[in-house]
Structure 1
Amino acid sequence: MSDTVVKSNELKTALKGFIVSNFLFGQDSLKFDDADSFLEKGIIDSTGILELISYLEETYTISVEDDELIPENLDSVNAVDAFVRRKLNGAGSANS
C-alpha cells in the first residue's frame, strides 16, 4: 500500500484552494461546484491546465502521461479527485 493516503474531501479542499489562489486570484466569492467544467466556466484555460498538472505531479508525486490529458481526468474538481486517487492506487501507471 502507498504511504500517501489522501481522503477525497482533503484532496478536493486542497485542489479548490489551489484554484482559488492561482486562477481566481483569491476571490473565493467566485463560487464553483465540484462538477463544474473548468474550461466551460472559464475557471482555468488551456495554459492553466499545465499549471494544474504541475501542481498535481508535485503535490501527489504522480506522473500525468500524455494520453491522460483528457477532460475526463482534468476538467472538474470531481474529475481531478477521481483521477488522482486512481493514480495513487496504481491504476493507469503501467510504465511508471
Structure 2
Amino acid sequence: MSAELARITADIRTYILENLMFSDDGSVLANDASLLEKGVIDSTGVLELAMFLETQFGISVKADDLLPQNFDSVDSMAGFVHRAINSEVAAAAAV
C-alpha cells in the first residue's frame, strides 16, 4: 500500500469511527467490513461521507459515484478517493 493510500485509509477510518460509530476503538472496524451490512451507514450516511471526502481530499463526488462499490467499506472508499485524486491530477496535467 502506498503512503498516500495509507493516509487516505487512516483519515477515512478515523472519521467513521469518531462521527458515525462514536468510538475511538479501532478494533471495532475492519477496513474491509461492509458498512451497509453492519448498519453503520444508510443513504444519509453515504451522503455525509461523500461530503467529508470532498472536503477532506478536495475531490468531486458525483451522483454516479454514490455506489456500494465506492462506499461500502473503508477500503472501497480509500480506493475511490485514490483513483479520483489520480484522475484529477492526470486531467490537470493534460490541459
Letter in 2 for 1:39: L
- State the partner residue of 1:13: 10
- State the partner residue of 1:59: 56
Native 8 Å contact 1:24 1:30 kept in 2: no
Structure 2 counterpart of 1:76, from 48, 73, 78 = 73
Gaps of 5+ in 1: 1-5
Q: Which runs of 4+ in 1 moved over 3 A?
A: none
Higher-helix-fraction structure:
2
Offset from partner CA, 1:4-36 (integer Å, 9 cap, x none): xx6111111111110011111125266121111
> 1:29–1:12: structure 2 CA closer, same or farther, 3 Å change rule?
closer
Percent of pairs with identical residues: 39
Offset from partner CA, 1:15-67 (integer Å, 9 cap, x none): 11100111111252661211111110111222111110000000111111111
Structure 1 counterpart of 2:84, from 47, 72, 87 = 87
> 1:29–1:55: structure 2 CA closer, same or farther, 3 Å change rule?
closer
Gaps of 5+ in 2: none
- State the partner residue of 2:25: 28
TM-score of the pair, normalised by structure 1: 0.81
TM-score of the pair, normalised by structure 2: 0.82
Native 8 Å contact 2:46 2:66 kept in 1: no
